[in-house]
Copies of this chain bind each other. A is one copy, B any other.
Amino acid sequence: MDLTLQQLRGFSAVAEELHFGRAAARLNLTQPPLTRQIQGLERSLGVSLFDRTGRGVRLTAAGEVFLEHCRRVLALLEVAPDATRRAADGQTGTLRIAFTAIGAYAVLADFLAMVRKRTPGVSVELTELVSPDQLQALADLEIDIGLVRPPIPDGFESLLVHSEDLVLAVPADHPLAVGSGLVGAGPVSLADVTDDYIGYSPEGSRYLHDICAAMIGMNRYAVSQLASQVPTMLALVRAGLGCALIPRSIVAMGVQGVRYRELDAADAHSVTLHACWSPDSPNPALQRLAESLRQTPQLDA
């Protein structure tokens, strides 16, 4: 025979009232079943919990100890349902968010602030992954939200998080590296660029690869090197292996030995970053955030 919650509640009531009748009334019960509960409890434990002194009862030392345990158990049981319901509502829990190295510089801080504001009480776990890996992880339910570049495959919901144009990165000793500041004087036309380009890898960064290829023309693109990580590309630019088209937010990295120029309006092209998630994720915290975003998709809301 093992313990029952009814026994614990009954014992706790009797221990507090020191009176079977009043305790029974508090439990919406009559006295006899309560007596039997306590008797059964004492039989299970092999211990007397009360001294029956004819007139009222008194806790034994063992009863005092058991009462302590009782209170702890009942207190835990008191909060467990609410905690569970909050978890089911997404009011508590964890959001696993992945981001790209590029995205981290421009938008991660603002995005996390928005998440905290919309889902307070939810904690965040961060992972850095390239876009294709993020989509795979989303499908495998290993992450909840990815900060990815297009295209967004079917079956995912997404939100435009950031849009910026591309700028031309050139070595600091390049003829186009003129003007004050990191971004030099005035826009340049791509037609004026005679150097090789550092291209994006069509596997790791298909989106930027395709856009740049379209902007420059396949014949002149990627003749020098292919890289998928922006820091790598900047290192190649700095080494004089060519120039590159880089999202503007990367300028803030302040990499030594690299200067930038804006592009003509005719050549300018913007690239976007999207928060992406699976609409049928089992994570209630994600569901809650998604619902909030569906109602007010503004990032600063």
Contact = CB atoms under 8 A, between A and B. Distances in A.
Interface of A: 2-5, 44-49, 51, 58, 60-62, 64-66, 69-70, 72-73, 76-77, 79-81, 83-88, 90, 92-93, 282-285
A12 B114 CA distance: 36
Contact of A77 (B3, B49, B93): B3
A37 to B, nearest CB: 14
Nearest to A46: B85
Contacts of A3: 5, 77, 80-81
A65 B87 contact: yes
19 contacts: A3-B5, A4-B5, A45-B84, A46-B85, A48-B88, A51-B282, A61-B87, A61-B282, A61-B284, A65-B84, A69-B76, A69-B77, A69-B79, A69-B80, A69-B84, A73-B73, A73-B76, A73-B77, A76-B76
B80 A47 contact: no
A81 B45 contact: yes
A76 B80 contact: no
Which applies to chain A's interface (DSSP): helix, strand, loop or mixed?
A: helix
Given A3-B5, A5-B4, A88-B47, A73 B80 contact: yes
A287 to B, nearest CB: 10
A70 to B, nearest CB: 8
One complex includes copies of this chain to the number of 2
Nearest to A285: B61
B47 A62 contact: no
B5 A44 contact: no
A58 B141 CA distance: 13
Given A61-B285, A69-B83, 5 more contacts: A3-B80, A60-B284, A62-B87, A69-B76, A69-B79
B72 A88 contact: no
A47 B82 CA distance: 10
Given A66-B80, A73-B73, A61 B47 contact: no
A200 B284 CA distance: 79
The 7 closest A-B pairs by CB, nearest first: A62-B88, A69-B80, A65-B87, A66-B84, A47-B88, A62-B87, A62-B84
A47 B87 CA distance: 9
A93 B66 CA distance: 12
Contacts of A61: 87-88, 90, 93, 282-285
Given A3-B5, A282-B51, A60 B80 contact: no
Contacts of A85: 45-47, 62
B45 A65 contact: no
Contacts of A83: 65-66, 69
A248 to B, nearest CB: 38
Contacts of A283: 61
